[in-house]
Chains A and B, each alone.
Chain A
């Protein structure tokens, strides 16, 4: 199993550009999450999904969109990138909402200049 994979690892965007952060898991997990981590801070939830076709907002959803067309994939879309979106983005997944462990991807480091 590859676990949770994220692409790209690093990206630099200009203000106003758009991009999609890819996240995939091969563990047949129903629950998937996107978090962002600002420098020196803890992680904050952007969006989450409880299964294919079902998504909902987290704590900091503004400026982002998600979709979940398959169990495996949970891409995060940034429209009109802003410097405030400079952060490290983590995707995570778990089989059930009360699973013992939430598995994290390696993260995507995004810089918006």
Chain B
């Protein structure tokens, strides 16, 4: 069964607008972590944001915030005030507490920011 699902193969947003990238997950582990990574065309993996399953508040890092809805098992990434440099592939990933730190990745969403 797919543990991490990103249903949006591609998304478009106008510069300076906000955009939400969807991620749903499936786990029976009560303790887990959710991550978002950015992969620009150059190929490197850039860590953006982390949310722990017991965190009471949604994580925020600058223009990135994670809309964590535990009951719905969703962990959507919100990028505010999009910039041209945000154009990239975005991956959602999950780490379960019993997994020795191993990450399970979704298929990714390609974000294109239009000027």
Q: Are B100 and A48 in contact (CB under 8 A)?
A: yes
User: Chain B: residues with CB nearer than 8 A to chain A?
Assistant: 4, 33, 35, 37, 43-45, 47, 50, 91, 93, 95, 97, 99-108
Question: Which residues in B have their C-beta under 8 angstroms from that of A58?
Answer: 102
Interface of chain A, main secondary structure:
strand
Q: Which of A79-96 touch B at CB < 8 Å?
A: 88, 90, 92, 94, 96
Contact B43 A100 (CB under 8 A): no
Q: Which residue of A lies closest to B108 (CB)?
A: A42
A43-98 interface (Cβ within 8 A of B): 43-45, 48, 50, 56, 58, 88, 90, 92, 94, 96-98
Pairwise interchain contact B45-A98, C-beta atoms closer than 8 A: no
**CA distance in complex: A40, B106 (Å):** 11
Is the beta-carbon distance between B107 and A31 smaller than 8 angstroms?
no
Q: Is the CB of A97 within 8 A of B43?
A: no
A45-B102 CB under 8 A given contacts A88-B43, A106-B43: yes
**In the A-B complex, the 6 residue pairs with the closest CB atoms:** A42-B105, A97-B101, A104-B45, A43-B105, A31-B101, A97-B100
Contact between chains at B33 and A42 (CB < 8 Å): no
A94 CB, min distance to chain B CBs, angstroms? 5
Contact B107 A99 (CB under 8 A): no
Nearest Cβ in chain B — how far from A40, in angstroms? Answer: 8
Distance of B96 from chain A, by nearest CB (Å): 10
State how many angstroms separate the Cβ of A21 from the closest Cβ of chain B. 15
B95 vs chain A, min Cβ distance (A): 8
Asked if A113 is at the interface (CB within 8 A of a chain B CB), the reply is: no
Chain A residue numbers with a CB within 8 Å of B103 are 33, 35, 43, 45, 92, 102
- CB within 8 A of A107: which of B43, B93, B97? B43
